[in-house]
């Protein structure tokens, strides 16, 4: 692992804790089995909640008869569509998101229609799992099975079955008169496309297709809800945002937010997929009816059938270049599958597609299309890996056409500070060029390749976000520090918060413990997503620590009987601000904490912020593959991730994020796909046949952390969690194309497809 401090970017002050690789605060409990995940909570009198799911991909629900199930001894509550109020179709703010509760209420419980196999139709709470299972079999649902459509391209056809008979495509002027499965059309453009292509010496246009892929978190969705007779609720759940869970549940169940306390459990992976509600409103409704605690845990099959994934897509990308290597124009059309309800990440897909490049004339058109499969959920840099995969493949092909090194070609056109992105803003200091330079200079890039091997390169971009975060920092009587935050820790953020607090306070990080506070114990905090936790909650943490320091200084001033402005905080100690102020010996944080009772009471610092100035993160990946020419099987031989972290607060976790993104990208690139039968039913709802990579499929993934500080953050943090999933698919596609001499434009690049491509290439004289 190489950390490359770049000239001129070294932090001004010497840092003692930020940038160190201390032990993982969550590690011990996780490896010893003590960590309590969503399914690990129990309450006296707890019931088992189970969901009845549609066996059909598309069916009208004519009636639901629960009478037999309700009469079964041991069944304490049943909920169906009748237990949830309908909501109007409008996009309203939920925290920082715009959501459509008409769709959310239908996704958690089918109303008029079941829109995918696995769509919840009813839920039961019973005294045992076997009674719950029996009760489900006693619920009679009268379905009128309808024709279904799975693929977005087919869903766009005029004769496709309609999921929502009222859906009129938004963003088209004049509005269409007929309903369709196209929820929305969007367009981003700049410059003069025609003139741009006219200047080009070469133009390459290709069509691409990708498949929906699941986030693949190891921990299935799970929750425990308890509602008392007064309507006060407690909810333990595995989530990336317990405040968002509270918002949605309050809305769906007509409850006041103050009546719902949500406790985020330890989380076994989320990757964006745990930013939505599935079981939580059902468990609360069942508990509310039965007045007993209700626990619900999905099986792996249910996770595949009814949660996530990210979109599959059909795309066209066209890019023109001059002989000197300058891109003159670029155009893309992106069709993203949203699943059963609108809201694919095609918007960010459009915005990110050409973001790594300075292109004067560009246009991206996107379509959000619904079909009979589970509603997509966020998955690391939602939308970006799909469109950037297509663009980065064409970039690679252009480099080949021009006879240019693919890194050099990117350097010629790469975005830098001052480049205006297609989606609007001008970039501040960014690290794309630095990652490309680091790639060029990395020993991997010049290492010799063996037979049947190829090397691919791709770059990637993700915005990163800021947003609302709170932090409460309590100075304990013994001088230790408890830090409470509201962003669940999915990637090591408790460690980075502790490091930033320790750095600011000037104390040993061993004395700082970070906790994820429940929704009643800290102010509203938006979810962990958008790579925002270390950036935004980190800013709140630093502010909270500074607030505590002001208090500590005031207490010292009181003890010394000098004015508050005459005290400074240095190295974990209050000191008189110079000879003129006074000559008292410095007082440590622990000393001041011990005297807090006599100097005014407990000392805490708080911060409630809306963090602005998130810094985008760029990455460049290098990968070597070896292709078995007889079987089409692809082996990943070597992999290097280079990414701008702004500042790596805990480099070990940052490297983990880089490696994890690359590992997930290998699965996306090579083997992961949903296999549907002609009946619209999913055939591979499990890890055996949904082929995510296993450890032995991966080489040790090398990492390089580039640090171009984000000026908006006290330590320069950008956020690193999402960008690592953006480049792998194109990097691997580019490597395969260089190994076999022909290009695949469809994911996954599974052995049958690679073999077929090689055979076709050979038949064409390749």
Partner 1 sequence: MRYEAPETIDAAVALLGSVGRARPLAGGTDLLVQLRAGIVEPDLIVDLKKLPGLRTIAKEKGGFRIGAAVTGAELREHPDLRKVWPGVVEAANLIGSTQIQGRASLGGNLCNASPAADSVPALIAAGATVTIIGPGGQRELAVEAVASGPGKTILAKGEFVTSIFLPARPPRSADAYLRFIPRTEMDIAVVGCGVSLTLDQSGTCTAARVALGAVAERALLVAEAGAALIGSKLDAAAFEKLIAAARKACRPIDDKRGTKVFRIDIAGVLAQRTATIAAERARGQK
DSSP E strand boundaries for 486-528:
512-516
- Contact by Cβ (8 Å): 112, 82: no
228 or 299: CB nearest partner 1: 299
> For partner 1, which residue of 391, 587, 706, 755 counts as binding (CB under 8 A)?
755
CB-CB contact of 373 with 344 (8 Å): no
Q: Give the binding range for partner 1 (CB under 8 A) out of 226-234, 319-327, 365-373, 624-632.
A: 624-632
Q: Which is nearer to partner 1, 175 or 688 (CB)?
A: 688
Q: Rounded to 5 degrees, what are φ and ψ at 258?
A: -65, -15
Least Å distance, CB 105 to partner 1, is 30
Choose one: 108-116, 480-488, 582-590, 745-753; the region binding partner 1 (CB under 8 A): 745-753
| Given 311, 464, 493, 750, the residue binding partner 1 (CB under 8 A) | 750
Cα–Cα distance for residue pair 620/706, rounded to 1 Å: 11
Contact residue for partner 1 among 33, 630, 764, 765 (CB under 8 A):
630
Shortest Å distance, C-beta 751 to partner 1? 5
Shortest gap between Cβ of 637 and partner 1 (angstroms)?
13
Q: How far is the CB of 657 from partner 1 (least distance, A)?
A: 23
CB of 663 to partner 1, least distance (A): 13
**Closer of 231 and 686 to partner 1 (Cβ):** 686
Decide: residue 421, CB within 10 A, 0-12 exposed, 13-18 middle, 19+ buried.
buried
Q: SS3 of 645, please?
A: coil
From residue 694 to residue 733, the character string flagging contacts with partner 1 as x (rule: CB under 8 A) and all else as - is x-xx------------------------------------
176 vs 752, which CB is nearer to partner 1?
Answer: 752
Closest CA to 730 of 404, 433, 387, 412: 387
Q: Quick check: 535 and 717 in contact, CB under 8 A?
A: yes
Instruction: Name the minimum Å distance from CB 735 to partner 1.
Output: 17
Q: Is 112 helix (H, G, I), strand (E, B) or coil?
A: coil
Closest among 20, 16, 10 to 708, alpha carbons compared: 10
Total residues contacting partner 1 by CB under 8 A comes to: 21
SS3 498: helix
Q: Is 195 in the site for partner 1 (CB under 8 A)?
A: no
Residues 298 and 246: their CA atoms lie apart, in Å, by 20
For residue 326, the number of C-alpha atoms closer than 13 Å in the C-beta half-sphere is 7
Give whichever of 548 and 670 is closer to partner 1, judged by the CB atom. 670
Categorise residue 24: left if φ over 0, alpha if ψ from -120 to 50, beta otherwise: beta
CB of 425 or CB of 677, closer to partner 1: 677
**What's the min distance (Å) between Cβ of 655 and partner 1?**
23
What's the min distance (Å) between Cβ of 749 and partner 1? 10
- CB 688, min distance to partner 1, A: 7
Q: Confirm or reject binding of residue 1 to partner 1 (CB under 8 A).
A: no
Quote the CA–CA distance of 389 and 355 in Å, as a whole number. Answer: 12
Residue 201 has φ and ψ, to the nearest 5°, of: -90, -35
| Least Å from the CB of residue 626 to partner 1 | 13
Place of tokens 């078995």: 628
Q: How far apart are CA 541 and CA 269, in angstroms?
A: 24
334-344: b (≥16 Cβ within 10 Å) or e:
bbbbbbbbbbb
Query: Given the complex with partner 1, which of 324 and 630 has the nearer CB atom?
Result: 630
Identity of the residue, 117 or 503, whose beta carbon is nearer to partner 1 in the bound complex:
117
Is residue 588 within 8 Å of residue 695, measured between CB atoms?
A: no
Residues contacting 350, CB < 8 A, separation 6+: 186, 188, 332, 334, 364, 365, 366, 383, 387, 423
Does 172 help bind partner 1 (rule: CB under 8 A)?
no
* Closest to partner 1 by CB, 442 or 681: 681
**Nearby residues of 764 by Cβ (< 8 Å), 6 or more positions away:** none
The per-residue b/e assignment along 565-594, b for 16 or more CB within 10 angstroms, e otherwise, is ebbbbeebbbbbbeeebbeeebbbbbbbbe
Which residue of 631, 711, 741, 766 would you call a contact of partner 1, by CB under 8 A? 631
Q: Is 228 an interacting residue with respect to partner 1 (CB under 8 A)?
A: no
Taking the least distance from each CB to partner 1, the nearer of 574 and 627 is 627
- Shorter beta-carbon distance to partner 1: residue 31 or 675: 675
**Least distance to partner 1 from the beta carbon of 675, Å?**
4
Give the residue with the Cβ less far from partner 1, 436 or 627: 627
Q: How far is the CB of 697 from partner 1 (least distance, A)?
A: 5
Residue 94 CB, shortest distance to partner 1, in Å, is 37
Report the residue number, 586 or 751, with the smaller CB distance to partner 1.
751
Residue 510 contacts partner 1 per CB under 8 A: no
Q: Are 491 and 659 in contact (CB under 8 A)?
A: no
| Closest CB to partner 1 among residues 394, 636 | 636
Q: In this chain, which of 21, 185, 444, 633 binds partner 1, going by CB under 8 A?
A: 633
CB of 510 to partner 1, least distance (A): 37
Can you give the C-alpha Rg of the chain in angstroms? 27
Rounded to the nearest 5 percent, the helix, strand and coil shares of the chain are: 30, 25, 45
Indicate the residue among 392 and 626 with the shorter CB distance to partner 1.
626
Q: 45, 147, 752, 766: which one contacts partner 1 (CB under 8 A)?
A: 752
| In 275-431, alpha helices (H) | 280-290, 300-306, 346-353, 384-402, 406-413
Give the per-residue contact string, 56-95, with partner 1 (x = CB under 8 A; - = no): ----------------------------------------
By CB under 8 A, the residues from 664 to 693 that bind partner 1 are 670-671, 675, 683-684, 687-689, 691, 693
751 lies in the binding site for partner 1 (CB under 8 A): yes
CA 404 to chain centre: 34
| List of residues contacting partner 1 (CB under 8 A) | 630-633, 670-671, 675, 683-684, 687-689, 691, 693-694, 696-697, 750-752, 755
């Amino acid at each position: 692992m190489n950390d490359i401090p770049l000239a001129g970017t070294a932090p001004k002050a010497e840092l003692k804790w930020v940038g160190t690789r201390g032990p993982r605060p969550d590690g011990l409990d996780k490896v010893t089995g003590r960590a309590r995940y969503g399914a690990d909570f129990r309450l006296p009198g707890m019931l088992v909640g189970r969901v009845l799911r549609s066996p059909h991909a598309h069916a009208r629900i004519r009636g639901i008869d629960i009478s037999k199930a309700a009469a079964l001894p041991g069944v304490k509550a049943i909920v169906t569509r009748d237990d949830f109020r309908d909501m109007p179709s409008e996009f309203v703010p939920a925290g920082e998101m715009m959501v459509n509760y008409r769709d959310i209420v239908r996704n958690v419980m089918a109303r008029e229609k079941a829109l995918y196999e696995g769509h919840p139709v009813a839920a039961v709470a019973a005294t045992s799992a076997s009674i719950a299972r029996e009760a489900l079999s006693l619920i009679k649902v009268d379905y009128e099975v309808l024709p279904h459509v799975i693929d977005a391209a087919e869903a766009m056809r005029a004769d496709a079955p309609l999921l929502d008979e009222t859906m009129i495509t938004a963003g088209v002027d004049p509005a269409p008169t007929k309903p369709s499965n196209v929820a929305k059309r969007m367009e981003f453009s700049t410059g003069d496309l025609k003139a741009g292509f006219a200047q080009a010496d070469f133009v390459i246009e290709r069509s691409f297709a990708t498949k929906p892929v699941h986030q693949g978190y190891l921990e299935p969705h799970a929750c425990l809800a308890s509602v008392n007779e007064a309507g006060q609720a407690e909810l333990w759940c595995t989530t990336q945002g317990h405040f968002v869970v509270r918002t949605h549940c309050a809305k769906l169940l007509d409850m006041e937010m103050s009546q719902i306390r949500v406790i985020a459990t330890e989380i076994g992976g989320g990757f964006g997929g745990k930013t939505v509600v599935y079981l939580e409103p059902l468990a609360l409704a069942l508990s509310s009816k039965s007045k007993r605690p209700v626990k619900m845990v999905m099986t792996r099959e249910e996770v595949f059938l009814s949660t996530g994934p990210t979109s599959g897509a059909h795309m066209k990308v066209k890019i023109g270049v001059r002989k000197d290597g300058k891109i003159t124009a670029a155009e893309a059309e992106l069709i993203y599958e949203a699943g059963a309800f609108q809201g694919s990440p095609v918007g960010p897909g459009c915005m990110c597609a050409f973001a790594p490049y300075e292109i004067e004339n560009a246009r991206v058109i996107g379509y959000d299309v619904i079909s009979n499969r589970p509603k997509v959920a966020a998955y690391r840099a939602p939308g970006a890996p799909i469109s950037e995969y297509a663009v980065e493949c064409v970039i690679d092909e252009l480099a080949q056409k021009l006879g240019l090194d693919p890194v050099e070609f990117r350097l010629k056109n790469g975005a830098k500070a001052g480049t205006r992105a297609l989606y609007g803003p001008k970039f501040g200091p960014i690290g794309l060029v630095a990652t490309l330079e680091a790639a060029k200079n990395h020993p991997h890039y010049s290492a010799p390749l063996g037979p049947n091997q190829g090397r691919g390169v791709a770059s990637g971009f993700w915005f990163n976000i800021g947003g609302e975060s709170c932090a409460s920092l309590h100075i304990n009587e013994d001088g230790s520090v408890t830090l409470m935050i509201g962003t669940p820790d999915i990637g090591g953020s408790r460690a980075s918060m502790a490091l930033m607090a320790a750095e600011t306070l000037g104390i040993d990080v061993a004395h700082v413990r970070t906790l994820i506070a429940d929704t009643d114990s800290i102010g509203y905090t938006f979810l962990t997503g958008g790579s925002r936790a270390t950036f935004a909650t980190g800013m709140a943490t630093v502010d909270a620590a500074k607030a505590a320091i002001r208090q500590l200084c005031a207490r010292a001033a009181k003890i010394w009987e000098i004015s508050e402005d005459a005290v400074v905080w240095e190295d974990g100690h209050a000191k008189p601000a110079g000879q003129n102020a006074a000559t008292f010996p410095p007082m440590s944080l622990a000393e001041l904490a011990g005297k807090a009772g006599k100097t005014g009471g407990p000392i805490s610092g708080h911060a409630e912020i809306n963090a602005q100035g998130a810094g985008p993160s760029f990455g460049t990946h290098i990968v070597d593959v070896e292709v078995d020419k007889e079987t089409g099987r692809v082996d990943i031989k070597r992999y290097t991730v280079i990414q701008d972290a702004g500042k790596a607060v805990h480099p070990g976790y940052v490297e983990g994020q880089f490696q994890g993104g690359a590992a997930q990208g290998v699965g996306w690139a090579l083997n992961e796909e949903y296999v549907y039968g002609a009946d619209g039913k999913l055939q591979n709802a499990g890890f055996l046949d949904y082929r995510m990579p296993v450890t032995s499929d991966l080489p040790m993934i090398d990492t390089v952390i580039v640090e171009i500080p984000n000026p908006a953050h006290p330590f320069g943090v950008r956020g690193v969690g999402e960008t690592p999933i953006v480049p792998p698919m194109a990097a691997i596609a580019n490597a395969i194309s260089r190994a076999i001499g022909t290009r695949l434009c469809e994911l996954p690049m599974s052995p049958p497809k690679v073999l077929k491509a090689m055979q076709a290439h050979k038949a064409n004289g390749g």
